[in-house]
Each structure stands twice: as structure tokens, then as C-alpha cells.
């Protein structure tokens, strides 16, 4: 696994320190709001587990599975394969995502949840790759762990063909692995 990694982009220590900072910010912003923290599976699972423990105010955990077809023609079409269990109407909702890339999946998730009339709806993404954003997507993340260059990254929940999610850091995959 390790030998397929070209470079460690974000070390375990860097990620831990940044999540602690985000935790302070989120704990401040969501004090007294009992937010629903919606994780989009499954890339988010490692970030979610670490992030939630740095949010020091009462909150509820929930999850969605979205299947997107952005790989084919970039129409942004997606479907909800697993929905949240809780009624989001009037609730403060925070979406947690692993990566904001073209924006197709986050754009879909955001508007899907917005239609349920939450009291507020915000986005927290561990990674943001703004160079990759699809034209016309104006959505912005409210909380960003790290803004990264346009490289394919794996680890800390992120996969290539379902592999590498269990690496404890975020690394750049050697291009020969996927070319
Ligand atoms: P989108 O292009 O913003 O819709 O991102 C769709 C999904 O592609 C993300 O939720 C990730 O699962 C995956 N993805 C995008 N960029 C990367 C990457 O650099 N490494 C691994 N997965 C990625
Ligand atoms: Mg993925």
C-alpha cells in the first residue's frame, strides 16, 4: 500500500491539529443548537469519527449514501441510496464531507437537504480542491480543513477503487497506479 504513495500530503499530526481547530470553531458556532451532523458515506468515515469527538456540544449523528454518476458525463445526476433517519425540518444541519472536488456530489447533497427546510445548512469538508470545480457550481464550503492542489489523493477515508482508505494520512497516489 505504502509503496503506491508518491508523497504524504497531510500527515496524521497535521490532520489532528487542524481537526482540533475546526472542533473549537464548530463547538462555538453550534453551541445550544443541537445540530444534526450528516456524514456522506463512506469516504467521510475516518474524518467523521475524529471530527465528531472534537465537537464539544450536544449533537446528533446521521449518515447518507449518495451514488453519483459524475464519472461518466458530469451531469451531476445522483440518487440517495441511504437517507438520514431524522426529520431535518427546523434543525441545524451540518454536512461533513471528505472532499469537495468537482462539486457534483456536494451540490446534490446540499440541495437535497435544503429541500427539507432545515433551520440552517452548512458544509464542512476536510479537503477542498477548488481547481477541479465544475463550471457553474457556486456552492462554497463553510468550513474547510485543507485546500489542496489538483492531485488524486488517498488515505484517511479516501479511496482509489476502494483501496487505501485505511492509510492514516492523506497521500498523493503515484500516477502509474491509476494510469
Ligand atoms: P465531486 O467530484 O466533488 O462530486 O466528488 C465526488 C467524490 O469523488 C468524492 O466524494 C470522493 O469520494 C471522490 N474523489 C474526488 N476527488 C478524489 C481524490 O482526490 N481522491 C479520492 N477520491 C476523490
Ligand atoms: Mg470515493
Domains of the chain: 2-178 (3.40.50.2020)
Element (DSSP H or E) covering residue 7: strand 5-10
**Nearest to residue 46, comparing CAs of 156, 154, 143?**
156
Asked if residue 103 has its Cβ within 6 Å of ligand 1, the reply is yes
Could you give the residue ranges of the DSSP H alpha helices within 56-157? 104-114
Average pLDDT over residues 119-148: 97
Ligand nearest to the CA of 97: 1
Best of 6, 46, 99, 172 to mutate for ligand 1, by most ligand atoms within 8 A of CB? 99
Q: Is 90 left (phi over 0), alpha (psi -120 to 50) or beta?
A: left
Which residues keep their CB under 5 angstroms from ion ligand 2? 43
Q: Where are the beta strands (DSSP E) in 69-148?
A: 78-82, 92-100, 120-128, 143-147
Rounded to an integer, the average pLDDT of 126-149 is 96
Res. 74: pLDDT tops 70: no
CA-closest residue to ligand 1 atom 2: 102
Question: Pairing mode, if any, of strands 36-41 and 5-10?
Answer: unpaired
Residue 106 Cβ < 6 Å to ligand 1: yes
> pLDDT confidence of 73, banded at 50, 70, 90?
very low
pLDDT of residue 49: 98
Is residue 139 very low, low, confident or very high in pLDDT (cuts 50, 70, 90)?
very high
139 alpha carbon, closest ligand: 1
Across residues 158-172, what is the average pLDDT?
97
Please write the tens of the pLDDT for every residue from 123-136: 999 999 999 999 99
109 touches ligand 1 (CB under 6 Å):
no
Whole-number Å distance between alpha carbons of 14 and 10: 6
Ligand 1 site, residue 125, Cβ cutoff 6 A: no
Of 4, 101, 106, 146, which is best to mutate to test ligand 1, by the most ligand atoms within 8 angstroms of its C-beta?
101
What integer pLDDT is reported at residue 179 of this predicted model? 81
Predicted pLDDT of residue 99: 97
Q: How confident is the model at residue 75 (pLDDT cuts 50, 70, 90)?
A: low
What positions carry a catalytic annotation?
101
Q: What is the pLDDT of residues 21-59, one digit of tens each?
A: 999 999 999 999 999 999 999 999 999 999 999 999 999
Q: Provide the percentage of residues in the chain whose pLDDT is more than 90.
A: 91
Amino acid at each position: 500500500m505504502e509503496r503506491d504513495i508518491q508523497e504524504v500530503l497531510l500527515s496524521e499530526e497535521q490532520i489532528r491539529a487542524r481537526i482540533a481547530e475546526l472542533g473549537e470553531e464548530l463547538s462555538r458556532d453550534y453551541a445550544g443548537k443541537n445540530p444534526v451532523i450528516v456524514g456522506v458515506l463512506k469516504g467521510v468515515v475516518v474524518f467523521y469519527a475524529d471530527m465528531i469527538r472534537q465537537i464539544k456540544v450536544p449533537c446528533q449523528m446521521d449518515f447518507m449514501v449518495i451514488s453519483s454518476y459524475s464519472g461518466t458525463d458530469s451531469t451531476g445526476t445522483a440518487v440517495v441510496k441511504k437517507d438520514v433517519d431524522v426529520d431535518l425540518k427546523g434543525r441545524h444541519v451540518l454536512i461533513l464531507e471528505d472532499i469537495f472536488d468537482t462539486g457534483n456530489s456536494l451540490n446534490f447533497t446540499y440541495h437535497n437537504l435544503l429541500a427539507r427546510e432545515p433551520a440552517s445548512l452548512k458544509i464542512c469538508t476536510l479537503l477542498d480542491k477548488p481547481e477541479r470545480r465544475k463550471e457553474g457550481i457556486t456552492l462554497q464550503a463553510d468550513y474547510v480543513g485543507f485546500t489542496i492542489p489538483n492531485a488524486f489523493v488517498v488515505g484517511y477515508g479516501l479511496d482509489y477503487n476502494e483501496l487505501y482508505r485505511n492509510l492514516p494520512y492523506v497521500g498523493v497516489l503515484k500516477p502509474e497506479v491509476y494510469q
